Structure 1
């Protein structure tokens, strides 16, 4: 259940043990916070509290899109990790101006009726990030709430973070990002009509705009695709602006799904990046492009092989 307010919280969602954070990506470090919240009070429902939009989007709206997960995907990942309830609190000017003490008193204590809290050591909140974990520990104890401060989870000698995962994706390492996420990174979106050139070339593609998602390295990827009927297929995808065809103003994701003939227009799919195959390139003409796509399909099939979707 996604709950978009800390006021008038449904009875079944009050009195939970609550994991706190932005949770962009819901990586293995975030899952550790959820598990710590549950382990501290397994007798209580488990909830996650996050903010929508991400505070960085609110304070820096002109920044390029950076989100690893938009709200529906983030909520689904939090629920898959055990959260019965997801509080996605609207982050607007009023919320940004709330003092750290009011956040604890009005939101966590009175609004949610939280019995236990869990967060990472760098969690900060309130006006100008005036509250840190030391402040939270004191204020929570004064109100009878427990608190678990969860150390970072490390992988390959470094702490897992959303920032590091974004950099890996931008550098063309979705496989390394997946190791830290605990699953392949997925771009979810609605399939839109293109110019049908892929169909003419012999490889019809499902087209999506990147939108508010982080833009990964432009180029060709071996992918798996979550289809509307719940099945998962294999394919090859291109992230780019089609320089051979004169260029697009926005980055699009074009996916050729192996052995699939259904109509996906207007439906939502999830494209999961498995392996980066080659950078985006400008070809001399359509014949060269067609030959490159044929090689991309062969390379993606080789990478995916007998891999389970």
Structure 2
């Protein structure tokens, strides 16, 4: 997959060498609904023997158009993670457009003329709710009129499960609620975060459960407070373990939220290492124990439950 960063305006040097099937969307999380859109594009590209191109943006549209605070916004898939997911979904050309004031103020017709036609789209594929400006004048129903016969349009219907629409918003809420099992079901793969191992209070070592304290990527959503079964990728290895996202309330009130991971069957110095964490399963909520012995007893049970889950799955 070739990645092309576009700092508007799009230049001739960035045009594809031939016509493409072009998929549009922000795709935060690249969940099952997004995957259906990309798959529709891939199928059309294969049918026409054309490359599959995908155009997305460097910032979430809600930050630009919806007034969401960029400093507090949490992504489901940061830049490198999204690239990996696009590659896994068969994208050939990955265009990442930087939201500049100039780009944000393009009219719908200018967006179509400069970017969709500029990228030599033979077919444009997007989800039913894709917009390219104000919803009432820049929606999928109006795209064929802006196209003026220069490319075909494929609109992909919404994907639902037994509850409701599969969406980034719903996935984000599931993670905030500590329901990583539902989030993984919506995503169609295991949710992953990354971070760096830093020094903590080293209390776990004295209890027989040494932990790697993770300084998580501040732009990425960490699952809500709770105890989880996880896998950690570090130095070319994948190790099972259990994670605590919480305030360590047994040892005091009003403590900061930390991410601590106890790895199974692992030895070695992890400080300073960059790691990825796969969030597999929610075990339980955070509990304030009456003392160290009660906490250690629960940790042994958590370890057994985690090992049982890893063995089964």
Structure 1 Cα separation of the partners of residues 91 and 280 of structure 2: 27
**Residue number in structure 1 paired with 2:289:** 283
1:192 aligns with 2:198: yes
> In structure 1, what is the equivalent of residue 98 of structure 2?
90
Structure 1 equivalent of residue 179 of structure 2: 173
Residue in 1 aligned with 2:267? 261
Q: Is the Cα contact below 8 Å between 1:54 and 1:91 reproduced in 2? A: no
Q: How many equivalent residue pairs?
A: 304
- Report the Cα offset of residue 235 of structure 1: 0.9
- Residue 124 of structure 2 aligns with which residue? 117
Which of 148, 151, 161 is 2:157 aligned to?
151
Alpha-carbon distance, 1:135 to partner? 2.1
| Residue matched to 2:69 | 61
Q: Distance in 1 between matches of 2:85 and 2:249?
A: 35
Q: Give the direction of change, closer, same or farther, for the CA distance of 1:147–1:306 in structure 2 (3 Å limit).
A: same
Distance 1:132 1:11, change over 3 A: closer
Q: State the 1:251 CA deviation.
A: 3.4
Which of 19, 37, 40 pairs up with 2:41? 37
Deviation at 1:23, TM superposition (A): 0.4
Q: Is the 8 A contact 1:17 1:41 kept in 2?
A: yes
The normalised TM-score by structure 2 is 0.87
Seen in structure 2, the aligned counterparts of structure 1 residues 106 and 205 have a Cα distance that, compared at 3 Å, is same
Q: Is the 8 A contact 2:210 2:262 kept in 1?
A: yes
Tell me which moved more, 59-68 or 181-190.
59-68
**Structure 2 equivalent of residue 103 of structure 1:** 111
Q: Does the C-alpha gap of structure 1 residues 89 and 193 become closer, same or farther in structure 2, counting only changes over 3 Å? A: farther
* CA–CA separation in structure 2 for the residues paired with 1:47 and 1:37: 9
Change (3 A) 1:47 1:244: farther
- The CA RMSD over aligned residues, in Å, is 2.4
Instruction: Tell me, in whole angstroms, the C-alpha distance in 1 between the residues paired with 2:278 and 2:69.
Output: 27
Instruction: State the Cα deviation string for residues 12-59 of structure 1 (Å, max 9, x = none).
Output: 576321211110110111111111112222211112211112122343
Displacement over 6 Å in runs of 4+? none
Task: State whether residues 189 and 209 of structure 1, in contact with CA within 8 Å, keep that contact through their aligned partners in structure 2.
Answer: yes
Q: Secondary structure at the match of 1:155?
A: coil
Structure 2: distance between partners of 1:215 and 1:129: 34
Distance verdict in 2 for CA 1:100–1:242, change over 3 Å = farther
Q: Which runs of 5+ in 1 are unaligned?
A: none
Give me the whole-angstrom Cα distance separating, in 2, the residues matched to 1:237 and 1:279. Answer: 12
Aligned to 1:160, the other structure's residue is in SS state coil
Q: Secondary structure at the match of 2:28?
A: coil
Per-residue CA distance 1:103-149 (angstroms, 9 max, x = gap): 11112222x22222111110011267741102222222x15122110
The alpha-carbon deviation at position 157 of structure 1 amounts to 4.7
**For residues 123-272 of structure 1, what are the structure 2 equivalents within 5 Å?**
123-126=130-133, 130-140=137-147, 142=148, 144-210=150-216, 211-229=218-236, 231-246=237-252, 251-272=257-278
Which digits, 9 at most, give the CA deviation of each residue in 1:177-199, with x for residues without a partner? 21221111111222223232223
TM superposition score normalised by structure 1: 0.88
3-state SS in 2 of match to 1:154 = coil
- Cα distance in 2 for partners of 1:94, 1:241 equals 44
1:255 positional shift: 1.2
Q: Distance in 2 between matches of 1:200 and 1:282?
A: 18
